[in-house]
């Protein structure tokens, strides 16, 4: 059974590991190509966009794909919309791994906003030391609040995105641990964080550290992300594929 996994997340890599070497499935993992050196994967991998929904539809047909798992990040809404449309057009089963959002707990000081632009405004007019835990493509919004000193943690250098004048980069890839996040926030004398509500354990320690240090977190809300059959992780995705296989005889 030929499968397309739309990836770029921990869950997608976990599913690739689960399916690698399983003769029942022939998975291809698809990455957008946002990071310059993605982690090596144990299944065949293709990198780059498909050319919109129509391009994805053609790719599914050309590669005789029998099922699609959308394991993309909660903020990657466009590829998910394309997956829903393309799978509907060629009558393919689609399941989506949905990572639960983090919940605001006692002691958290979250300021919830809808967009990176609103996050920049929510930081206020007084200059502050701000930790931006965002993708590099989200950083341009902070040009509108040039009074702050920003420390941005990204996987790769920002490339040619417009940046606020006072910004420094720390390059790192999760998972992160709580003690190090604590040290990082203290060491950089951070006064506020800006984060997406990514969910999952790999990047949660900064949120827990902010709670302990009583720092505000400007939390950018999740976009509406269309999907197929909702699943809660890679194990559930494998069970869904096994059920499909059994159903098709």
Q: Phi and psi (nearest 5°) for 13?
A: -65, -35
Compare residues 4 and 145 and give the one whose CB is closer to ligand NAP: 4
- Please identify which residue in 10, 72, 133, 203 interacts with ligand NAP, judged by CB under 6 A: 72
Q: From 7-15, 142-150, 160-168, 234-242, give the range in contact with ligand NAP by CB under 6 A.
A: 7-15
In whole angstroms, give the CA distance from residue 167 to residue 150.
5
> Minimal distance in Å, beta carbon 96 to ligand NAP?
12
Whether the bond into 132 is cis, omega within 30 of 0: no
Q: Does the protein bind ligand NAP through residue 135 (CB under 6 A)? A: yes
Q: From 1-9, 108-116, 179-187, 239-247, give the range in contact with ligand NAP by CB under 6 A.
A: 1-9
Neighbours of 43 (CB within 10 A): 21
Size, binding site for ligand NAP by CB under 6 A: 24
Q: Are 2 and 26 in contact (CB under 8 A)?
A: yes
Restricting to residues 155-214, which ones interact with ligand NAP according to CB under 6 A?
196
Q: Are 33 and 48 in contact (CB under 8 A)?
A: yes
Of all residues in this chain, which one has the CB nearest to ligand NAP in the complex?
A: 49
Written as six digits, the tokens of 88 are: 């509907």
Q: Does the protein bind ligand NAP through residue 219 (CB under 6 A)? A: no
Q: Phi and psi (nearest 5°) for 22?
A: -90, 110
> Minimal distance in Å, beta carbon 4 to ligand NAP?
9
Q: Does the protein bind ligand NAP through residue 75 (CB under 6 A)? A: yes
SS3 17: helix
- Alpha helices in 200-233, H assignment, sequence order: 205-212
- Please identify which residue in 10, 16, 25, 30 interacts with ligand NAP, judged by CB under 6 A: 30
Provide the pairing of β-strand 45-47 with 26-31: parallel
Footprint on this chain of ligand NAP (rule: CB under 6 A): 6-9, 30-32, 34, 49-52, 55-56, 72-73, 75-79, 82, 135, 196
């Amino acid at each position: 059974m030929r499968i397309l996994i739309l990836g770029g997340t921990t869950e997608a890599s976990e599913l690739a590991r689960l399916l690698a070497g399983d003769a029942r499935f022939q998975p291809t993992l698809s990455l957008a190509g946002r990071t310059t050196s993605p982690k090596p994967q144990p299944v065949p991998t293709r990198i780059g966009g498909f050319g919109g929904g129509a391009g994805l539809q053609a790719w599914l047909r050309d590669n005789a794909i029998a099922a699609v798992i959308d394991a993309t990040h909660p903020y990657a809404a466009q590829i998910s919309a394309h997956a829903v449309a393309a799978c509907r057009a060629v009558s393919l089963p689609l399941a989506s791994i949905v990572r639960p959002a983090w919940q605001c707990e006692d002691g958290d000081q979250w300021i919830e906003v809808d967009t990176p632009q609103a996050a920049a405004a929510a930081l206020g007019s007084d200059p502050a030391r701000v930790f931006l835990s965002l993708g590099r493509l989200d950083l341009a919004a902070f040009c509108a609040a040039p009074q702050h000193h920003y420390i941005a943690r990204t996987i790769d250098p920002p490339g040619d995105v417009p940046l606020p004048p006072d910004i420094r980069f720390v390059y790192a890839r999760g998972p992160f641990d709580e003690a190090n996040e604590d040290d990082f926030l203290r060491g950089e004398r951070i006064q506020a964080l800006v984060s997406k509500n990514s969910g999952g354990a790999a990047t949660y320690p900064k949120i827990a550290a902010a709670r302990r240090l009583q720092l505000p977190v400007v939390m950018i809300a999740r976009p509406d992300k269309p999907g197929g059959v909702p699943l809660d992780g890679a194990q559930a995705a494998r069970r869904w594929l096994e059920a499909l296989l059994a159903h098709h005889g």
